[in-house]
Amino acid sequence: MISFVLGVEDLADTRFALSPLHETLFSLRVLQDPGLSALHLPWRRSVLGRLGTLDTGLLMSLVAQRRTLPDFLTPNPTSFAPAFEEELSVVRQASCARVRHDLLLAHAPDPVPEALRDATAAEDATVARLRNSICDLLRQYWEVAIEPMWPQMRLVLEADMTYRARRLALGGARLLFADMHPNLRWHGGELRVHKMISRHRVAAAGRGLLLLPSVFAHKPAPPVSRDEPPSLVYPSRGVATLWGSEMPTADPTALASLLGAPRARLLSLLEEPLPTAELARRLRVTPSAVSQHLRVLHSTGLVTRARDGRHVLYRRSTLGDQLATTATRSRTHNG
């Protein structure tokens, strides 16, 4: 078990961020072991056909047998949503001692793979060449495997953060962490991550806690080293909507008859806050078509809306929740 001891100031400084670099690294786990999540099999199949001449041996060596990743490759974002190249530049500046230490630690107790043998070299110049080769390879992999889908992935991650922020506002830290993952427990001022290979306790000591929702993480993932600032990558909600080929199913009974099938589908999706573009993507229609239906649903009091940065997020109102829940129960009882 790994636990983070969080004081009042640390809870006040709990924040969220998006990291394209983290997603790039965590996606390697899915390439290495497709059994981690059947949800990602469509993505995996499409990516395997595009890797071409990339050095997959070096790529796969970055994930240890116990699925840990070197901490120097996943630095904490310094802003809410840094660009991939911005994060990669931080990795390029990692000291040779740090690279050597983190690669050895991530793979321990196993030796580093053959592709990373230069990590154990005494000469810093050799380690620096390996670090730069890894960075160049990750950039190429990002462009092929993650960047084409990043706008859609980002919408899913932002929707998760909006949901988490609402949980925090309604019930504090206990509610925030309650449904993140079964391995997470909030108790007595500590966030405990169970079923971890390592066992240590980290005092945040005024450094706060950084939370990073992830499309590819299958369980909570804190840093490998206890010396790293407190952060936690956790599985995002809504991942199943990314690669699925099926349209959301309409309610064929009362709700569709009352609202019409398109608006009934919209209402069913708005259990969590979502922007117009994401709704349009899931329904495979134009944003303007979604906007027309949202205006009607909002004017009738079935959905609420609030601005979050550059997005307007829509969510079912209490009345909309009651209507959708009643329709679902009716459909279940009749079936």
- Give mean pLDDT, residues 189-204: 90
pLDDT digits (tens, 9 = 90+) for 24-53: 999 999 999 988 888 999 999 999 989 999
Instruction: Tell whether the model's pLDDT for residue 83 goes beyond 50.
Output: yes
Return the pLDDT at 276: 93
Six-digit token string for 69: 């990743």
The two beta strands, 190-193 and 274-275, are unpaired
What is d(CA 276, CA 269) in angstroms, rounded to the nearest whole number? 11
User: Would you say the C-alpha torsion 39, 220, 280, 317 has a positive or negative sign?
Assistant: positive
What mean pLDDT value characterizes the chain? 89
Return the pLDDT at 36: 85
Single out the residue of 180, 189, 161 nearest to residue 275, CA to CA: 161
Return the pLDDT at 53: 93
pLDDT digits (tens, 9 = 90+) for 119-167: 988 899 999 999 999 999 999 999 999 999 998 899 899 999 989 988 8
| CB neighbour list of residue 160: distance below 8 Å, 6 or more residues apart | 213, 236, 237, 238
**CB 262, CB 245: distance < 8 Å:** no
> What is the pTM assigned to this prediction?
0.74
Four-CA torsion 111, 117, 118, 120, nearest 10 degrees: 30
pLDDT band of residue 254 (cuts 50, 70, 90) is: low
**CB 141, CB 149: distance < 8 Å:** no
Task: Report the amino acid identity of residue 146.
Answer: I
Single out the residue of 53, 13, 22, 14 nearest to residue 216, CA to CA: 22
